[in-house]
Every structure is written in structure tokens, then in C-alpha cells.
Amino acid sequence: MATSMAPRGTAPSSKSQARFGRRTHIATAPTRRAPTRTRVGAIKSDVPPQPFTVREGELGKVLSAAIPLVLRLGTGALIGGYEVRLDADDDGSEGKYAIARFAKRRVAERSTTLPTTRPAKPITLYEYEGSPYCKKVREACSVLDLDVLFKPCPQGSLAFRAESKALGATTYPFLLDENTGAKMSESDDIIEYLFNTYGGETKVPFLLRRGGLATNSTAYAAALARMKGLSARQAKKIPEQPLELWTYEISPFSKLVRETLTELCVPHVVKYCPRGSEKRHELYAMVGHFQVPFLRDANTGKAMFESKDICEYIESEYGSS
């Protein structure tokens, strides 16, 4: 269990390297970049957002996809070290997301424990949506506000399983971090590595701690809620460039999208934006609104909100039918 995290910008401690010695090779300390900003409305969504709306015929799916939110106590919904406060709503905050504005003030959210910059390159994870162990790692990535390149490896998949095994994967999830050279399997080891490397002073949440009585049991129960994203389906093509999905791990609407991406083995970069993430401002600046899931496909130029429309688009563009 990690209790004190190394400050951002330093290499993992020798103690941390020893712990991961069998699975990890650390080359250098991570190189980082500051979050980018774009003007409001720079990107037009092909499907406009419909806040707080469940589409016809989707209620059962959404309810079952929401079960993990309850079982896992919302782990992944808030950024590590989450803090909320009132800030002046001056001209400089015009392009910023806020959950509420009133009396020339805005409700501002942030992290008080995470470093202010992110890794230069996304973390790469070989995993699949239906695995309870993979879910724990995804929750950790959400808490840490990371960008992650997912290469889905459900049962029956070929390309990414072969690719990961060539890198040394024996089980899933399997992590490849090009920022440090780290490679490892085992969810608990990956979680501790991520917090030690990218967590600053952030503590590992209760339901992500190694050896916790409820850690694996609730993850298993959450996975049993839908039993989707376990097996590969035939896809007519794999995109040349990974799709981009803005979300946070506990969103039931985003889970439906992730299931489709996993089963079709579509590579995608997840821009995790839990409450308190600076990336909420980025998305708000790009499209003038914040809502997840939001999908961008650089291969076709499509961009859209709404999980049902996103799933239908993915099936139409990449599915076999």
C-alpha cells in the first residue's frame, strides 16, 4: 500500500524500483507538458449534448452500467486531493468550466495533491472493459487525471494480445509507460507504480489499496453487473489513428461506449477528466460545453456527445455489420 507519494518531476524511489524489480525497467524520469488551451467553440460536435437525458430504450443499460458506481463508492469520479472553493468569476475565467456561477463568483474545483503537469506521452494499457482487475487500474488513472492509450485485449482478440505478449505480458492489465520505460502486469503493482510516479502527495483511495478486504470483492461484483466487454467481436477495420474519448471512469454512459470499443478492439486514447481536472476546462473551451462521454475520431473528422450516438457511430464505422 502506498502511503506517501513522490513529488512530480522526480524519478521513482529506489524502494519503489526494488518492489517492481521483476516487472519494471525505469529508464528516465517522466517528461511533462502543461495542459493546452483552445478558444471556446473551436470544435463543432456532430451530435449536440442532451444533459441529464436517457434515450428511449437505454434505461436498462444505463441502470446496469451504474451499478459499479455504487459498489465502488464512486472511485474515479473525483481527482486525487479534490477541493472545491469559490473564485471570482472575472474576465479571465470566461472560457473555464464551472459547476455553478452566481453573484460574480464561480464554484471552482481542483486538486491540492497532484502535480500541475502531466506526462509527456499517454500511458499505454493493454486490458479489457469486463475485467475487475483492469477496472481498478482504470479507476487509478482517473483519480490521477492521466491520459491513457488503451489497446483492448478481450478474449478472442489477436493483434493487441500478440503485441502485448511480445512486450512481456503474461496477464492483463499490462502497462507500458514510454515516459519511464516501465513495463508490468498485476493490477496492484500497476496502481502503486502510477501513484508513486504520478501521484505527488495523493494517497491511494480505500478501494484501490493492496490487500483491502473490499478492494477485489467489489471490483468483481461491479464486473458481474453487466458481463460486457469480455469477448472480441469481428470488426471490419482498425482505425489508423486511435479514437479520443473524454470521460471519467465511473460514468455509466461512458461504460457503454467503452464496452463497444473493447469488443471491437478499437484503440483509443482516454482523456480522463474527473471532477477537479483541468481537462474539463479544455473540453469546455473546445466545444463550449462539458459533458461525458465525448468522442473525437481524427480518421473521419467526427466529434460527438451522447453515448447512444457514439456507440452507433462506432458500430457503423468499425463494426462488421
Residue spans per domain, the chain: 14-318
Q: What is the pLDDT of residue 185?
A: 96
Q: What is the per-residue DSSP string for 44-84? A: --SB---TT---TT-HHHHHHHHHHHHHTTTTTSB-TTEEE
Q: What angle do CA 36, 265, 33 make, to 5 degrees?
A: 15
pLDDT tens by residue, the chain, 321 residues:
443 333 334 444 443 444 343 344 434 444 444 444 344 466 888 888 888 788 888 999 999 999 999 999 999 999 999 999 998 887 566 678 998 988 888 899 999 999 987 899 999 999 999 999 999 999 999 999 999 999 999 999 999 999 999 999 999 999 999 999 999 999 999 999 999 999 999 999 999 999 888 999 999 999 998 999 999 999 999 999 999 999 999 999 999 999 999 999 999 999 999 999 999 999 999 999 999 999 999 999 999 999 999 999 999 999 986
Give residue 265's identity as a one-letter amino acid code: C
Q: What is the pLDDT of residue 7?
A: 39
Q: What is the pLDDT of residue 93?
A: 62
Q: What is the pLDDT of residue 117?
A: 78
User: pTM of the prediction?
Assistant: 0.85
Q: What is the pLDDT of residue 56?
A: 87
Q: What is the pLDDT of residue 48?
A: 85
Q: Name the phi and psi angles at 138, rounded to 5.
A: -60, -40
Q: What is the pLDDT of residue 88?
A: 87
Nine cell digits for residue 219: 471490483
Q: What is the per-residue DSSP string for 78-141? A: B-TTEEEEEEE--GGGTTS--S-EETTEEEEEEESSS-SSEESS-EEEEE-TT-HHHHHHHHHH
- The CA distance from 256 to 60, in Å, is 12
Q: Name the phi and psi angles at 197, rounded to 5.
A: -90, -40
252 near 69, Cβ under 8 Å?
A: yes
Q: What is the pLDDT of residue 181?
A: 97
